[in-house]
């Protein structure tokens, strides 16, 4: 029975994965256009972020769409196809679960954030905190 489920889900992934990637490519959001100095502030804030993901994972696609929507330059690593990234994810985060956002602080300490909803909320708070509309006058 275990073998049945293994091959069933492989088949589903083989069919659904490319469809999800095509849909993501066709409906990809346009990024926010900011003045250069504001984009530099955003880039500085996101410089120490790394997103570990699988390309066809729907939750990873959701996070990537948010980064595109907000024009966030975040390094992405494919933990499915890249053995080194997979190993980093396992050693640093403690489990191979995606999406996972690695957040490095100024002292070089890493925080590993799982769950797409939590990651998106964190990213949007970073953007909102630097947005000119929300800065105190």
Q: What is the pLDDT of residues 67-112, one digit of tens each?
A: 999 999 999 999 999 999 999 999 999 999 999 999 999 898 999 9
pLDDT at 61: 96
Q: Residue 118 is part of which domain span?
A: 2-130
pTM of the full predicted structure? 0.83
Domain with 92 in it: what CATH number? Answer: 3.40.30.10
Q: Which of 124, 123, 116, 9 is nearest to 62 (CA)?
A: 116
Assess whether pLDDT exceeds 60 at residue 17. yes
* Number of separate domains in the chain: 1
Q: Is residue 136 part of a domain?
A: no
Assess whether pLDDT exceeds 70 at residue 114. yes
Tell me the C-alpha to C-alpha distance, in Å, between residue 87 and each of 21, 105, 112, 118: 25, 21, 14, 23
Give the E-state strand segments of 8-126 in sequence order.
49-53, 75-78, 100-104, 110-114
DSSP state of 136: -
Confidence of residue 136 (pLDDT cuts 50, 70, 90): very low
């Amino acid at each position: 029975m275990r073998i049945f489920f293994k091959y069933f889900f492989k088949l589903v992934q083989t069919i659904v994965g490319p469809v999800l990637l095509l849909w993501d490519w066709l409906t990809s959001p346009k990024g926010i256009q900011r003045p250069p100095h504001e984009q530099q502030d955003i880039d500085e804030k996101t410089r120490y972020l790394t997103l570990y993901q699988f390309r066809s994972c729907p939750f990873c696609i959701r996070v990537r769409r948010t980064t595109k929507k907000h024009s966030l330059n975040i390094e992405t690593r494919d933990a499915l196809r890249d053995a080194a990234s997979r190993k980093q994810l396992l050693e640093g985060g403690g489990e191979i679960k995606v999406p996972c956002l690695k957040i490095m602080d100024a002292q070089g300490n890493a925080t590993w954030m799982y769950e797409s909803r939590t990651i998106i909320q964190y990213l949007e708070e970073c953007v909102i905190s630097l947005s000119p509309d929300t800065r105190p006058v």
